[in-house]
Amino acid sequence: MKNTSSRQHANAPATASGLPLVCWFEECRKDAVELVGGKCSSLGELINAGVRVPPGFALTTEGYRRFMSEAGIDREVRALLAGADPGNLDKLELASSQIRELIESHPFSHEIEDLVAESYRKLSVRSCLPAVPVAVRSSATAEDLPGASFAGQQDTYLWIRGADEVLHHMRRCVSSLYTARAIAYRIGQGYHDDQVAISVGVQKMANSFTAGVMFTLHPGNGDRSVIVIDANYGFGESVVSGEVTPDNFVVNKITLDILQRTISQKEIYYTVDQATQVSRPIEVPLERQKVQSLMDDEVCELAWMGKEIEKHYGRPMDIEWAVDKDLPFGGNIFILQARPETVWSQKQQSPAAKPGTSAMDYILSSMLQGKRLA
Amino acid sequence: MKFPKPHDVKTIPGTEGWERMYPYQYQFVTDDPERHQYEEQAFWFYDGLHYPEAIYPFDTIWDEAWYLGLSQFNNRIFQVPPVRGVDHRIINGYVYISPVPVLDPEEVASRVPNFMERAGFYYQNWNELEAKWEVKMRALIKQIEDLPISRLPDLEELDVVLSGMGESKGFHLLRTYDELINLGIQCWQYHFEFLNLGYAAYVFFLDFVQKLFPSAPLQRVTQMIAGIDVIMYRSDQELKTLAKKAIELGVDEVLTGCKHWREAEPELKALANGQKWLAELEIARYPWFHVSTGTGWSHVDKSWNDDLNIPFLGISSYIEQLRQGTDIERPLEKVRAERDRITQEYRSLIASEDDKQTFDNLLATAKTVFPYVENHMFYVEHWFHTVFWKKMREVAAIMHEHGLIEEVEDIWYLRRDEIKQGLWDLVTAWATGVKPRGAKVWPPEIAWRKGVMEKFQAWSPPPAVGTAPEVINEPFTIVLWGVTNSSIADWSQVQEVTDPDSITTLKGFAGSPGIVTGRARVCRSVEDISQLEEGEVLVAPTTSPSWAPIFSKIKAVVTDVGGVMSHAAIVCREYGLPAVVGTGHGTKVIKTGMMLRVDGSSGVITIDR
């Protein structure tokens, strides 16, 4: 990623500079990482693969650069970081907070503000809501590359409503590129700051009744013939963070039938506080704690989506999903995020039998081994 | 895991002396210290798969036949390296078996070259040898079908003198009985010629796939070998053909208008087209109606040819379905397409090219052995056994005629060597012109044995006795009885429930995937299937090809006995019905009318009480 360039992007609509400042997810494909970061390009890829994803748009890295240069922030940043020593954390912290303050307090240009506000309005119209609640999150250009998490903190702000709030949180995401740790890492790795860029995604919040994660292999043993789903009520946070033992479903990937259901006692779930518009944990009513949080039909549909996503990417995937409570079954399951599974995929798997094993050899060696009872 | 010592299992009060009903080597002993110690240290599990009920003294013949057949092929012919044979015992009328391991690693190693050479020869020449097998088997069946069992005349026919034969019907009866028994044992020699090798190829293919995909359900792996034409479906196919023929000839109304074959047969005979149809039936029934309504292992299991009302009901049911426009043919194309899809998808998920190659090798071998694994049952357990039981009843009729037994069906309470003794008694008394001694010996003994058998049937055998080993290498034990830690634990759990009315969930093998809810219909035998209503869940001890006509009517199947390879599981997978097999006690716990939730993917049945 050291030679991040301003290569022309085929799918994005051209602007005066040749690259868009803001674009819709569906206009991005997986090769748009340099323009909209890993997260947003992957969402665009999913939409184009026919997977149901909550709609949204992104401030592109071009938009980010325009913002930084138009206001002269980039020059100030360079000055603040001149001669920075990655060993001196105190000084870095100071520089970081100055830079972040600078970014967050500076308005976008009218051009960008108008583009974002217009996209937000269109998104609200598409969602049939007056001011659609959205998630605003940074989408780094290198986050999915193993061992290259130099983007630093990945900020996510949920339940944001109104164009001004959206713009404000977009700047907060941009500033997350300049945490002390991220700066230190970049200096240590020899990256020049010109090579660093960030994109910000704005996506309709799924008003999830149930949410969770899905692996297109068995996380326990790497078995690629199954899809494993963890689910709890509310947002996926409780599942991702491990705060509850979720319901667990093992689905046969080939035949899409449920092999195993484990219904757990789910004590809390996350939902949005309507007054403060932030997500917070709430106790699950006792009578619902041991009730299956995802219906069998939904499990199977979700697994089908997982299988399609894996087929599209050609590798096992780690997926976040949600069931929207405002929509009826048949169109209510959404994929929020999909990234390559990394644990089992990077493991060197030894073959189950020696190369060139004949049936006879295998039968004999299996007989000699027998079946362990103890 | 703790199991009772075999010698500590108590005799049921009132059955003291039951041991004499079975061969003496089947007893657990205390008077022989060496044997006693061996018995205590071995692991014996109850063979509920073959004997869901206590075994009748005569029916022990098939147990002895497979005791010999399996063990000799394992140990003396092919030399399966880590295991000798499978030993047998009987406790309170129930058969317990124990695989005998080869413990010395050097001895195991020394057996390997023999096994590779001998078993290898069979695997390499499988199709040729199997073709030979079929010729042998058909010749054997012809022999038993031709075996004359004639009553003893007051005066031998003149021809005995004129032809200078020099032999009597009395001697012939003794000789024929011996031949009948020998043919039975010989048939079971052939039964095992391929079976263990077949199972080994099959089970280790399943094992390999599960090694690659630990969560792959067995039922899905067996689907990779589905859709191969095996004769298991042939009898059912004949019923379908006869149903179509009846419509074609315009005699279908006669068949569906009658409640019983007794009424239908004379009506058909009175019609020209009816006679044509009956001629078709005659062609079809030999041998395809030699199909048992049970496993064929017990004399109780009737065949279609013993009671034509059973196929009659099947034909009538098919006629009704044809009239409603239902497609009654096996969905073979669909089965094959699904088989190929499943195989391809699993194969594409295999990471290494080497493993793909091994997968292909093992799948090809499993497909080669599969027809034998399925087809041998028709020849042995269905066709041969049907003829055998019929011939034995002819012998019994002669004993009954001479007063040795009070009813024909009493013969099953005697060991086969006791029958030989009785026949000696009978023919010498007949020759001499006096009364046989047995007329006063056997009836009271049989009356006592009937009481003993009743007490045996009411007793619940422990799932296992003795000392559990750490490793099981015997392919049969693994594939047929699914002996694992968890299966043994499941068996013992059901055993521990004293009140069957309190059970709300039952576990078995996941035989065929899917979940349905429906009303239970308990059918203890194939005669009960006429009560089945559309959309019910069939609960049966086991099913066999003769149950086939009902599968298009029901929602799911639950059986007491059987694994993923059992008839019920295989047929349900074809018809897309959920099945839970091998529940152990399904027919005892479930009552007709109960609402059941059958989960054929996880093998759990929930009873809504």
pTM of the model: 0.80
Element (H, E) at A35: helix A33-48
Residue A356 forms part of a structural domain:
no
Does A346 reach chain B within 8 Å, measured CB to CB? Answer: no
User: What's the per-residue H, E or C state across B217-242?
Assistant: CHHHHHHCCCCCCCHHHHHHHHHHHH
Q: What is the pLDDT of residue A60?
A: 95
Residue A197 forms part of a structural domain:
yes
Total number of domains in chain A: 2
Please state the domain extents for chain B.
Answer: 1-195+380-496, 500-608
Instruction: Report the CATH number at residue A195.
Output: 3.30.1490.20
Give yes or no: residues A184 and A155 share one domain.
Answer: yes
Question: Which tens digits make up the pLDDT trace of B219-275?
Answer: 888 889 887 777 878 999 999 999 999 999 999 999 999 999 999 999 999 999 999
Give yes or no: residues A192 and A220 share one domain.
Answer: no
Tell me the CATH number of domain B500-608, given options 3.40.640.10, 3.40.50.300, 3.30.9.10, 3.50.30.10. Answer: 3.50.30.10
Nearest CA in chain A to B211: A352
Alpha-carbon distances, residue B276 vs B6, B234, B268, B282 (angstroms):
60, 21, 9, 10
Q: What is the ipTM of this complex?
A: 0.79
Question: Which tens digits make up the pLDDT trace of B576-592?
Answer: 899 998 887 788 889 99
Residues from chain B contacting residue A253 (CB–CB below 8 Å): 345, 349
Give yes or no: residues A175 and A150 share one domain.
Answer: yes
Residues from chain B contacting residue A344 (CB–CB below 8 Å): none
Residue A16 forms part of a structural domain:
no
Q: Could you tell me if B219 and B362 are in contact, meaning their C-beta atoms sit under 8 angstroms apart?
A: no
Is A373 within 8 Å of B468 when comparing Cβ atoms?
yes
Of residues A225, A358, A369, nearest to B215 (C-beta): A225
Query: Which of B115, B352, B358 would best serve as a mutation to test chain A binding (most A beta carbons within 10 A)?
Result: B358
Q: What is the mean pLDDT of residues A86-97?
A: 85
The 3-state DSSP class for residue B134 equals helix
Tell which wins on pLDDT, A352 or A2. A352
Tell which wins on pLDDT, B74 or B479. B74
**Residues with Cβ within 8 Å of residue B51, at least 6 apart in sequence:** B63, B94, B95, B297
Q: What is the pLDDT of residue B107?
A: 95
Tell which wins on pLDDT, B440 or A312. B440
Question: Which tens digits make up the pLDDT trace of B96-115?
Answer: 999 898 889 999 999 999 99
Q: Quote the tokens at residue A29.
A: 């494909």
Is A373 within 8 Å of B470 when comparing Cβ atoms?
yes
**Residues with Cβ within 8 Å of residue B315, at least 6 apart in sequence:** B239, B242, B243, B246, B255, B549
Q: What is the mean pLDDT of residues A131-140?
A: 88
Whole-number average pLDDT of chain B: 90
Is B82 within 8 Å of A223 when comparing Cβ atoms?
no
Residue A363 forms part of a structural domain:
no
Instruction: Report the CATH number at residue A331.
Output: 3.30.470.20
Whole-number average pLDDT of chain A: 84
Residues from chain B contacting residue A262 (CB–CB below 8 Å): none
Q: What is the mean pLDDT of residues A248-271?
A: 93
Is A374 within 8 Å of B214 when comparing Cβ atoms?
no
B276 φ, ψ to 5°?
Answer: -60, -45
Q: What is the pLDDT of residue A344?
A: 82
Alpha-carbon distances, residue B600 vs B7, B207, B568, B582 (angstroms):
38, 20, 12, 12
Give yes or no: residues A173 and A36 share one domain.
Answer: yes
Give yes or no: residues A61 and A192 share one domain.
Answer: yes
pLDDT at B485 over 60: no
Residues from chain B contacting residue A308 (CB–CB below 8 Å): none
Domain of residue A331: give its range: 208-340
Give yes or no: residues A64 and A141 share one domain.
Answer: yes
pLDDT at A241 over 60: yes
Q: What is the pLDDT of residue A166?
A: 96
Give yes or no: residues A39 and A183 share one domain.
Answer: yes
Does B220 reach chain A within 8 Å, measured CB to CB? Answer: yes
Nearest CA in chain B to A307: B345
Is B354 within 8 Å of A254 when comparing Cβ atoms?
no
Q: What is the mean pLDDT of residues A141-160?
A: 59
Q: What is the pLDDT of residue B473?
A: 62
Q: What is the pLDDT of residue B499?
A: 67
Closest-CA residue to B340 (of B367, B313, B361, B319): B367
Question: Which tens digits make up the pLDDT trace of B417-452?
Answer: 999 999 999 999 999 999 999 999 999 999 999 999
Is B115 within 8 Å of A258 when comparing Cβ atoms?
no
The 3-state DSSP class for residue B289 equals coil
Residues from chain A contacting residue B220 (CB–CB below 8 Å): 252, 254-255
Q: What is the mean pLDDT of residues B182-205?
A: 92
Q: How far apart are CA B91 and CA B86, in angstroms?
A: 16
Nearest CA in chain B to A225: B213
Q: Quote the tokens at residue A340.
A: 């390559």
Closest-CA residue to A217 (of A327, A81, A136, A316): A316
Give yes or no: residues A199 and A213 share one domain.
Answer: no
- Min Cα separation B98/chain A (Å): 14
Helices (H) and strands (E) in chain A, counts: 11, 14
Tell which wins on pLDDT, A316 or A184. A316
Give yes or no: residues A245 and A183 share one domain.
Answer: no
Q: How many beta carbons lie within 10 A of that of residue B428, not counting itself?
A: 14
Residue A17 forms part of a structural domain:
no
Element (H, E) at B324: none
pLDDT confidence tier of residue A8, bands split at 50, 70 and 90 = very low
**Residues with Cβ within 8 Å of residue B131, at least 6 apart in sequence:** none
Is B601 within 8 Å of A372 when comparing Cβ atoms?
no
Q: Quote the tokens at residue A115.
A: 């583009």
Q: How far apart are CA A136 and CA A116, in angstroms?
A: 12
Give yes or no: residues A148 and A214 share one domain.
Answer: no
Q: What is the mean pLDDT of residues B11-30?
A: 96
Residues from chain B contacting residue A368 (CB–CB below 8 Å): 81-82, 108, 112, 473
Nearest CA in chain A to B207: A366
